[in-house]
Amino acid sequence: MPAEPTPAGATSSGASASGAGAPRRLAQAALRDVPWEVGVAKPDAAVVVDGITRTFGGLTAVAVDHLEIQRGGITGLIGPNGAGKTTLFNLLTGFDQPNTGSWTFDGRDMGHTAPHQVARLGVVRTFQLTKALSRLTVLQNMLLGAQGQRGESFLRALIPGTWRAQEKANTEKAMDLLQRFKLDAKKDDFAGTLSGGQRKLLEMARALMSDPKVVMLDEPMAGVNPALTQSLLGHVKDLREQGMTVIFVEHDMDVVRDISDWVVVMAAGRVIAEGPPESISQNQAVVDAYLGAHHDAPLTAEEEDRVLAQAEREIAREENVDGEVFSSEAKEGTDR
């Protein structure tokens, strides 16, 4: 049974630049009477996933029967290593295609939609700063995040004046965002020289260049020192203030509790629980699959080995796709 929601705007960070009151209240009120059941319908779903599966060889990475994401809220996606969170992100942003199933955004079927089209329709994700992107300046990274410019049209590209006007507008927009994220003084620095927290800020700022409606953040707090954590949390809450729908993957349960209006828990590719943050720690299936083993006790040597091996696999995978992602992003940037 749903419990009483937490008091409106009750966040531990208090860091939101614009005050976290009304939109959080709205998001929580909308979800207040929604039962804590896997696959439950939301009052105003922006994203609806149906029967999505993704297998790698014999391994089922994702098998989600039905999932709805409430518009204008912050949804936290949690689960143990290998639960399928990143794969689901890849599917929802067109970077991977499911073996079966479909998903819609604003009622529109998004099956087989390429990543740049998904982004143009308003669903964007943050990208970790790959090695290739580290070698670009902060401003160049921002300009790669721009899309929908006039320069992308062939006919308009024949009229250089229009293209240049667009480039100028993009640069102005990039500088506004860099100012908001306190990175304007770093605009000409190579992105690779930024601290962990500044990189996360840049990843978020870059995603905002395309005026998204849904922002998907992959571990926005990973590797961020405590000094910048509050600032980053404030920026995530600000996205909700501005009416965006936020979905984020995060391992830090304090962060999840602090900013989520709703939490979705995955394990072995499936959604095993969903509900407001306070429902999650009471859920036995979640404690068994995740919280008990993962968070309430230090990692055992065996778990540490497993996490390290997973990290090594991720790094190897990232190095493999590094050039690919960069070249497609760079192409999107130069195409316009």
Ligand X SMILES: Nc1ncnc2c1ncn2[C@@H]1O[C@H](COP(=O)(O)OP(=O)(O)OP(=O)(O)O)[C@@H](O)[C@H]1O
Task: Give the footprint of ligand X on this chain (CB under 6 A).
Answer: 56, 59, 61, 79, 81-87, 310
CB of 83 to ligand X, least distance (A): 4
- Whichever of 130 and 210 has its CB closer to ligand X, that residue is 130
Look-up of token digits 């105003």: 44
CB of 79 to ligand X, least distance (A): 5
Count of other CB atoms within 10 angstroms of residue 273: 24
CB of 159 to ligand X, least distance (A): 42
Q: How many CA atoms lie within 13 A of 281 on its CB side?
A: 9
- Whichever of 310 and 327 has its CB closer to ligand X, that residue is 310
Q: How many CA atoms lie within 13 A of 123 on its CB side?
A: 26
- The amino acid at residue 295 is H
72/46 Cα distance (integer angstroms): 8
CB of 57 to ligand X, least distance (A): 7
- 26-to-9, 29, 32 alpha-carbon distances in Å: 10, 5, 10
- Whichever of 56 and 305 has its CB closer to ligand X, that residue is 56
- Whichever of 83 and 143 has its CB closer to ligand X, that residue is 83
User: Could you give the 3-state DSSP secondary structure of residue 52?
Assistant: strand
CB of 246 to ligand X, least distance (A): 17
Q: How far is CA 250 from the centre of its chain?
A: 9
- Whichever of 100 and 310 has its CB closer to ligand X, that residue is 310
Cβ-Cβ contacts under 8 Å for 119 (sequence gap 6 or more) = 93, 147, 210, 212
- Whichever of 27 and 62 has its CB closer to ligand X, that residue is 62
Q: Do residues 263 and 78 touch, judged by C-beta distance below 8 A?
A: yes
CB of 311 to ligand X, least distance (A): 8
